């Protein structure tokens, strides 16, 4: 400490007796010394002192010294020591972190000063290019601070820094060279920098990939010991994930470059893994590798890429290695869960891989197929929820576009005298009617996947018979499902059974016939659909019951006398009401659960209560909802003989009133459309004004920050009045600009609200006309829809 004080004295000179300079005064003298001193040693000492003060007096150093420090970077770049001090100082003042020294000095800042200084520093893009150039300097005192400064700038302004580096000559190449740096601290920090740099920027991702990133990263992983390595291995995998996720170009490059084969050693487990166990870091590393494999075969990728990657993984024995982990002992639950998900996506839709997986045997006594062992976990309520979800997803992937697998599962449900071992069908049947509602749901969904796009198995499954009581006649599986649906009180079980029935009865008149013959089945559906009281999730149950009723009409072969198409249509119209029925049916697709389930095949739920609908059912509902509505509409017209000529005098008068009202509304809407077009043009002008206001605000914020620093430096002097006054012009101008912006936004909101209200009224009137049998021109509807879209804009 004495050395530091003596250094300051040599730089600043000795203060007058009895006086102690403030921090602001000290910074001011140091900055002056850096900018005016002709001796390099003096400038170096001053920069060293500024670095020491830049944490506690960040505002003062940044406000007064940023331009001076930049000049040093340009003029004294041949001296590595002073360059290192400047880069470290800039890193401190632009950091988002609030330093401990700032807490000690009781500085209370309402804004993040680091972000403000970052914005000021990168306004001149040449500053970033200058820092990038220091990466070419091998000296540790320069290269490492340059990496840290770029990381700090990127943390505050990621989009802006990405854009600057993208257009900077050889900018990405300079960063990539750091991956072969022999000094690990620089290489590791460069890895973190690249992880942040490649986030959400496909162009940078492609450049990094084609700069031999994968080769260099795999070299680092091998040197570190694969998944047994430290956190550096995890960082390498995270960077690879950034490069590959949602980037088909890089995935192709990764596959064609034979990098998939380099993943194989990652999955080799030592023979004594049960003894040595899994360290937390090994778990993290393995999790990243599994995520990487899933990124290559994600269902969101184009089919050609997924198929090609799946084939490569099979040939590289990657699927075999994954199955070995699946059947190994002592694997942590979260790794086992992710491995099950990964195996599922590696085999999904690939018949060769699915056949391989079907033949994998678990090392049990007696040996059992891996699928059976997994399903045993799925229907076991003591197993972790995430694990059970993963097993269901894996089983769904096994059956996806796999008619052979679907047939094999259904065959295990049919009577057989040759096999007495536990089968997939027995497990699913047991789960279907167990006391655990989650097992009911899992088993229903799993069984429904044996029927997807497979009419033959829908009919085969009708042959499955169950003995309900000792000595009683066996009943069909569909019959028992329908009875169980009526008696269970568990919402989740009901929804699962209804989804199974929907998949079963769609395009299968035989299944519809058996269902209609189940005592009380239609009465149950009618009661649920017509119910008026329900909570949020009851909406789904009632919507599903309405959907099943519609399927009974759409796929009815009129073989059940009391429940022909015409009778069912009349039942819906009289007991439920057409309007109520359509409302209940529409509740399914409007529900947030539907929106979430329809996004992706894999089930994403944090709690068991969230499991209601699933992906393939949502696809089925989307395809058949219009079929059901059309079938009901046709039957209603045939039975009632509804036509325009059959309207009563009162209805005709009402119809004329509606027509007149719609003409009036159309005229108003045309006027509003003109106003909207004018507002659209004004909106473009307003956007330009808003952008100008934002730029002005940004400049005012910068000036405000500098003035605050100057005010603190001038504390106790008469010069404080002028900065204070200037801050109050500036603040008043900011308030005025913000108020103007708020008025503009309010005017826009009022107009949009008016247009939406008019659009809603028009739709209501037109729907009423349709109910009365009036034909609405398609052109009118399209104009209305177009107007509605404009309103939303």
**In the chain, which residues have pLDDT < 50?**
1-12, 14, 417, 634-647, 715-724, 779-793
pLDDT at 757: 75
Q: Diameter of the chain by CA atoms?
A: 113
Contact 766, 783 (CB under 8 A): no
Cα gap 647→769, rounded to integer Å: 12
Tokens of 524: 């149950």
Which positions ≥6 away from 540 have C-beta within 8 Å? Answer: 495, 587, 588, 591, 593, 594, 612, 613
Delimit the domains of the chain by residue range: 22-200, 423-635
Q: Please give the Cα distance from 619 to 408 (Å, whole number).
A: 24
Those residues with Cβ within 8 angstroms of residue 428's Cβ, 6 or more apart along the chain or in another chain: 375, 379, 409, 413, 443, 446, 447
For position 737, what pLDDT does the model report? Answer: 75
* Cα 284 to Cα 294: distance, rounded to the nearest angstrom: 15
DSSP 574: I
**475 strand-pairing partners:** 466
Residue 110 to residue 88: CA distance in whole angstroms:
24
C-beta separation of 565 from 556 below 8 A: yes
Taking the CA atoms of residue 73, residue 75, residue 79 and residue 84 in that order, the dihedral angle to the nearest 10 degrees is -10
| Chain segment 699-737, per-residue pLDDT in tens | 777 667 666 655 655 544 334 344 445 556 766 777 777
Residues 663, 668, 673, 674, Cα dihedral to 10°: 120
The domain made up of 22-200 is a member of CATH 1.25.10.10: yes
The helix-helix angle for 58-75 and 649-713 (nearest 10°) equals: 80
Query: Can you give the pLDDT at residue 792?
Result: 43
The structure tokens listed for 171 are: 């900018």
Distance separating alpha carbons of residues 229 and 215, to the nearest angstrom? 18
DSSP result, 136-175: G---HHHHHHHHHHHHHHHHH-HHHHHHHHHHSTTHHHHH
CA distance 684 to 591: 36
Same fold, 22-200 and 423-635: yes
Which stretches of 647-720 are DSSP H helices? 649-713
The first and second tokens of residue 53, run together, are: 């003060």
Rounded CA separation 465/474 (Å): 6
Phi first, then psi: what are they for 656, rounded to 5°? -65, -40
Predicted local distance difference test score (pLDDT) of residue 763: 80
Check whether domain 423-635 has CATH 3.30.450.20, yes or no = no
- How far, in Å, CA of 344 to CA of 405, rounded? 14
Ordered alpha helix ranges (H), 475-597: 477-487, 491-505, 509-516, 521-530, 538-554, 565-571, 578-590, 592-597
């Amino acid at each position: 400490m004495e050395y530091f004080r003596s250094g300051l004295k040599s730089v600043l000179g000795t203060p007058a007796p009895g006086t102690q300079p403030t921090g602001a005064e000290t910074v001011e003298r140091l900055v002056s010394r850096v900018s005016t001193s002709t001796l390099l040693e003096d400038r170096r000492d001053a920069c060293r002192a500024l670095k020491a003060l830049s944490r506690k007096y960040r505002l003062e150093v940044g406000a007064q010294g940023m331009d001076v420090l930049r000049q040093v970077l340009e003029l004294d770049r041949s001296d590595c020591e002073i360059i290192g001090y400047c880069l470290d100082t800039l890193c401190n003042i632009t950091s988002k972190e609030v330093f401990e020294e700032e807490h000690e000095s009781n500085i209370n800042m309402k804004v993040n000063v680091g972000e403000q200084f970052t914005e000021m520093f990168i306004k001149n893009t040449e500053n970033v290019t200058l820092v990038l150039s220091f990466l070419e300097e091998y000296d540790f005192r320069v290269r490492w601070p340059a990496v840290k400064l770029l990381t700090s700038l990127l943390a505050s302004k990621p989009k802006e820094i990405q854009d600057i580096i993208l257009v900077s000559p050889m900018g990405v190449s300079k960063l990539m060279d750091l991956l072969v740096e022999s000094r690990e601290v620089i290489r590791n920090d460069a890895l973190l920098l690249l992880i942040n740099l490649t986030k959400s920027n496909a162009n940078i991702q492609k450049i990094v990939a084609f700069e031999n990133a994968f080769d260099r990263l795999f070299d680092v992983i091998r040197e570190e010991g694969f998944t047994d390595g430290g956190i550096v291995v995890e960082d390498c995998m995270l960077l690879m994930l950034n490069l590959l996720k949602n980037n088909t170009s890089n995935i192709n490059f990764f596959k064609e470059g034979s990098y998939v084969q380099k993943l194989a050693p990652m999955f080799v487990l030592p023979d004594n893994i049960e003894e040595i166990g899994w360290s937390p870091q090994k778990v993290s590393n393995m999790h990243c590798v599994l995520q990487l494999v899933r990124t290559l075969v994600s269902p969101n990728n184009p089919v050609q890429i997924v198929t090609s990657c799946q084939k490569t993984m099979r040939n590289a024995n990657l699927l075999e290695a994954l199955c070995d982990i699946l059947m190994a002992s002592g694997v942590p639950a979260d790794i086992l869960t992710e491995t099950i998900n990964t195996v599922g996506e590696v085999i999904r839709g690939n018949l060769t891989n699915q056949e391989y997986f079907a033949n994998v045997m678990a090392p049990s006594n007696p040996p059992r197929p891996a699928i059976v062992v997994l399903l045993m976990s799925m229907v076991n309520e003591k197993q972790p929820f995430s694990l059970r979800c993963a097993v269901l997803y894996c089983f769904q992937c096994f059956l996806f576009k796999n008619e052979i697998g679907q047939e094999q599962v259904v065959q295990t449900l049919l009577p057989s005298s040759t096999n007495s071992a536990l089968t997939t069908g027995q497990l699913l049947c047991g789960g279907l009617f167990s006391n655990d509602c989650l097992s009911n749901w899992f088993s229903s969904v799993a069984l429904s996947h044996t029927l997807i796009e497979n009419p033959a198995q829908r009919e085969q499954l009708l042959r499955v018979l169950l003995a309900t009581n000792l000595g009683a006649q066996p009943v069909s599986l569909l019959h028992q499902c329908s009875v169980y649906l009526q008696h269970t009180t568990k919402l989740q079980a009901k929804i699962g059974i209804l989804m199974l029935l929907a998949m079963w009865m769609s395009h299968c008149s035989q299944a519809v016939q058996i269902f209609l013959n189940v005592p009380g089945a239609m009465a149950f559906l009618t009661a649920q659909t017509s119910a008026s009281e329900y909570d949020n999730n009851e909406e789904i149950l009632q919507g599903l019951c309405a959907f099943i009723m519609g399927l009974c009409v759409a796929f009815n072969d009129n073989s059940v006398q009391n429940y022909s198409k015409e009778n069912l249509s009349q039942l819906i119209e009289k007991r439920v009401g057409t309007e109520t029925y359509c409302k209940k049916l529409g509740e399914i697709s409007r529900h947030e659960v539907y929106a979430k389930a329809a996004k992706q095949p894999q089930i994403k739920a944090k709690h068991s209560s969230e499991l209601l609908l699933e992906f393939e059912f949502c696809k089925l509902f989307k395809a058949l909802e219009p079929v059901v509505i059309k079938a009901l509409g046709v039957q209603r017209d045939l039975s009632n003989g509804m036509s325009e000529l059959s309207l009563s005098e009162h209805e005709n008068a009402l119809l004329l009133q509606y027509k007149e009202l719609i003409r009036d509304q159309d005229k108003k809407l045309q006027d509003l459309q003109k106003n909207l077009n004018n507002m659209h043009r004004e909106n473009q002008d307003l956007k330009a004004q808003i952008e100008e206001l934002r730029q002005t605000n940004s400049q005012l914020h910068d000036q405000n920050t500098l003035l605050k620093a100057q005010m603190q430096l001038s504390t106790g002097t008469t010069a404080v009045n002028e900065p204070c006054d200037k801050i109050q012009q500036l603040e008043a101008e900011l308030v005025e600009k913000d108020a103007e912006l708020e008025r503009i936004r309010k005017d826009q909101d009022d107009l949009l609200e008016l247009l939406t209200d008019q659009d809603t009224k028009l739709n209501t009137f037109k729907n009423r006309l349709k109910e009365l049998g009036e034909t609405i021109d398609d052109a009118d509807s399209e104009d209305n829809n177009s107007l509605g879209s404009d309103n939303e804009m």
